[in-house]
Amino acid sequence: MQKLLASLLVAAAVAGFAAPAHAQSRIKDIAAVEGVRSNQLVGYGLVVGLAGTGDSLRNCPFTRQSLEGMTERLGVNIRGANSNSKNLAAIMVTAELPPFSTPGARIDVSVSSMCDAKSLLGGTLLVTSLQGADGEVYAVAQGSIQTGAVSGSGASGSSVSRGVPTAGRIASGATVERETGFQLANMNEVRLTLRNPDFTTAQRVAAAINATYPNTALAENGTVIALRAPGQMGMAGFISQVENLPITVDSPAKVIIDEVNGVIVMGDAVRVSTVAIAQGNLTISVQENLQVSQPEAFSRGQTVVTPQSDVSVEEELGREMRIVGGGTSLATLVNGLNALGVSPRDMISILQAIKAAGALQADIEVM
């Protein structure tokens, strides 16, 4: 009998601390593996083949210097020559190197004009090395540019354009030449980082992993969960299993207010203590009417214009004070505010007033 009573008490305690029924998310959707990320690459290059829409060499000295340096490497010396071609442009090339990219893989690149080029449409990017933050070359880019823009101009100076013709993209325009050196298979321990830090969510993630793979996860803080692969399982296979585990995400009570656009976003954890709310609109209108007083014919009187003012006060009725019970849920709060018939902008003022009264158990963040 004592064992049965103890079991019932344990079950009641577990039910008391159980999380409310909410939609579950996968761990891969709320967390990322530390170190597994893309890396930004950047390079400087030349685009040729433009139809007179490139840089003016007189206004862009770095374009001239780049042209002279490139032709010298190819065995042509144009230093001192009066070249004024507008068929080339200096550009910056950017790309993102995905994690675990191997030499020979292709990635997309974006190009943007640096000087006074009018359009990069139809241009071809010459071989350009792309460097990482450490100064090493990780990829080489080259190819035809697609801008997705249309532009045209007339002899009178009028012009029209759609999109941005001075920026474009080269699909699969760069070849990876170097790996980042992140050796996941040789690591004994990895760390998961939550995209939205929260201690409760971190503990739930660790508990969900340990329930399937005992003693493999530890929540270090509200952001980081340390993982250690069990037994002979490889780290990549272990992460593949872990990231598909379902988890219930917890979030703090917060109200986001965008006063410019009149937008209000409230989380499900928002609660309100007992409070009475009343809202009404008072309208004062003043109407001016001009009346003309004119004397009879052949009399000595004068014509006088007399202003006549009508002032009225209207107050919208039917807005009774409503009481919102303590500990009410988000749905009850929203229904109570909607029952008052308030607009989103009036609701912003009401929420701020409830917060000032100490009855709103949530943080208000104004964008």
Tens of pLDDT along the chain (367 residues) come to: 344 334 433 333 333 333 344 568 999 999 999 988 899 999 999 999 998 888 888 888 888 888 888 888 888 877 767 777 888 999 999 999 999 999 999 999 999 999 988 889 889 999 999 999 999 999 999 999 998 877 666 666 667 777 888 999 999 999 999 998 888 888 889 999 999 999 999 999 999 999 999 999 999 999 999 999 988 888 989 999 999 999 999 888 888 888 778 788 887 788 877 777 666 655 545 565 767 777 777 667 677 777 665 656 555 554 555 555 555 666 666 776 676 666 777 778 878 888 888 888 888 888 7
Mark out the alpha helices in the chain (DSSP H runs): 2-17, 27-30, 61-73, 199-212, 235-242, 330-339, 344-356
Q: What pLDDT is attached to residue 317?
A: 52
Q: What pLDDT is attached to residue 15?
A: 37
Q: What pLDDT is attached to residue 143?
A: 94
361, 272 Cβ separation under 8 angstroms:
yes
Cα 98 from Cα 107, distance rounded (Å): 8
Q: What pLDDT is attached to residue 357?
A: 81
Q: Of 338, 331, 360, 346, which Cα lies nearest the Cα of 259?
A: 346
Q: What pLDDT is attached to residue 285?
A: 55
Q: Is 338 buried (19+), middle (13-18) or exposed (0-12) by CB count in 10 A?
A: exposed
Count Cα neighbours of 98 within 13 Å in the Cβ-side half-sphere. Answer: 13
Cα 208 from Cα 248, distance rounded (Å): 10
Q: What pLDDT is attached to residue 330?
A: 62
Q: What pLDDT is attached to residue 315?
A: 54
- pTM for this predicted structure: 0.67
Cα 181 from Cα 250, distance rounded (Å): 35
**Amino acid symbol at 8:** L
Give residue for tokens 């040789």: 186
